[in-house]
């Protein structure tokens, strides 16, 4: 089981869109995937057409009140499970911050869960902030996937999150944390987008996914219908991009298990 934090402290970069659609595309390939919604707004939960479920967020495991395994619920898609988000997570920001081990509460909660072979990948959809929930996700994750919008200010945000990753490593909360990939999102064919991609490639090289996610109306619409893009518009540009991302993601992880062919 490998834990991937999908994070960027800047909002509106396609973070939840990426978490939901990558999870759905992995599941469609037969990969057992758990999506954990760490955002009090529960956007990843609603994007899959699911309601928030009282007592089923990661809130209690963060506070040591229940094991993570008790919070997992199935979705209507084969091979895809979720731990929904809810507003209780907003309280966790305050309550966990008071604890001495405030950076590693989620990591500790995952320790017994890591030995469970039920899931192949766990995706942590982080809130768009540098608060307790995001730092706990970074401390618990094996690697970080950064969705990055193709615009100038995204470069400033990337330097900040890179700094946070270094701090998480150096303080001992998660010395092995790596940046597993940078995904360029909301791409439009213009000079600025091309410049931003080239600039990121100059500094991060092969860390950048070759897949680039375009800005499309259908990708923006699909969460309001409670469907991942491969169900909402399976033949569209957005679905094609996230299917390609899933393939590239699995190739990077040298995935060799028998997977269900995509349709």
pLDDT band at 151 (very low <50, low <70, confident <90, very high): confident
Residue 245 and residue 37 in contact, taking contact as beta carbons nearer than 8 Å: no
164 near 138, Cβ under 8 Å?
yes
- Who contacts 226 (Cβ-Cβ below 8 Å, separation ≥6)? 46, 47, 48, 49, 50
Other beta carbons within 10 Å of 8: 27
Quickly state the pLDDT bin for 76 (edges 50, 70, 90).
Answer: very high
What gap in Å lies between CA 153 and CA 183, rounded to an integer? 15
How many other C-beta atoms can be found within 10 angstroms of the C-beta atom of residue 226?
16
Judged by DSSP in three states, 102 sits in coil
Other Cβ atoms within 10 Å of 258 Cβ, number:
6
Measured distance CA(17)–CA(38) in Å, rounded: 14
Q: Counting every residue, how long is the chain?
A: 263
| pLDDT tens digits, 108-121 | 999 988 876 689 99
User: What's the rounded Cα separation, in Å, for the pair 8 and 135?
Assistant: 11
pLDDT classification of 25: cutoffs 50, 70, 90: very high
Pairing between strand 80-83 and 73-74? Answer: antiparallel
Give the integer Cα–Cα distance in Å for 107 and 251.
Answer: 26
197 burial (CB, 10 Å; 0-12 / 13-18 / 19+) is middle
Query: What are the extents of the domains in the chain?
Result: 2-252
pLDDT at site 157: 75
Within 13 Å, how many C-alpha atoms sit on residue 154's CB side?
28
2-252 CATH pick, 1.20.58.220, 2.130.10.10, 3.40.50.300, 3.60.70.12: 3.40.50.300
For the question of whether the overall pTM of this predicted structure is more than 0.75, the answer is yes
Cα 152 from Cα 199, distance rounded (Å): 10
């Amino acid at each position: 089981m490998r834990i991937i934090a999908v994070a960027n402290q800047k909002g509106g970069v396609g973070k939840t869109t990426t978490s939901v659609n990558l999870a759905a595309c992995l599941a469609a390939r037969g990969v057992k995937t758990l999506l954990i919604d760490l955002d009090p707004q529960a956007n990843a939960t609603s994007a899959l057409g699911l309601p928030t479920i009282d007592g089923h967020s990661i809130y209690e495991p963060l506070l040591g009140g229940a094991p993570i395994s008790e919070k997992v619920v199935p979705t209507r898609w084969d091979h895809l499970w979720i731990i929904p988000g809810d507003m209780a997570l907003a309280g966790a920001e305050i309550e966990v911050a008071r604890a001495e081990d405030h950076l590693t509460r989620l990591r500790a909660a995952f320790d017994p869960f890591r030995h469970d072979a039920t899931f192949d990948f766990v995706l942590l959809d982080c809130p768009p902030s540098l608060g307790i929930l995001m730092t706990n996700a970074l401390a618990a994750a094996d690697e970080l996937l950064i969705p990055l919008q193709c615009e100038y200010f995204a470069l400033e945000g990337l330097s900040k999150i890179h700094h946070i990753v270094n701090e998480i490593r150096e303080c001992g909360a998660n010395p092995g944390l790596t940046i597993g990939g940078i995904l360029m999102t909301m791409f439009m064919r213009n000079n600025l987008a091309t410049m931003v991609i080239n600039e990121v490639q100059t500094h991060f090289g092969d860390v950048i996914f070759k897949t680039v996610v375009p800005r499309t109306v259908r990708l923006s619409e699909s969460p309001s219908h409670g469907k991942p893009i491969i169900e909402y518009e399976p033949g569209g540009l957005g679905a094609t991009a996230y299917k390609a991302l899933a393939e590239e993601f699995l190739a990077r992880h040298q995935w060799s298990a028998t997977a269900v062919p995509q349709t």
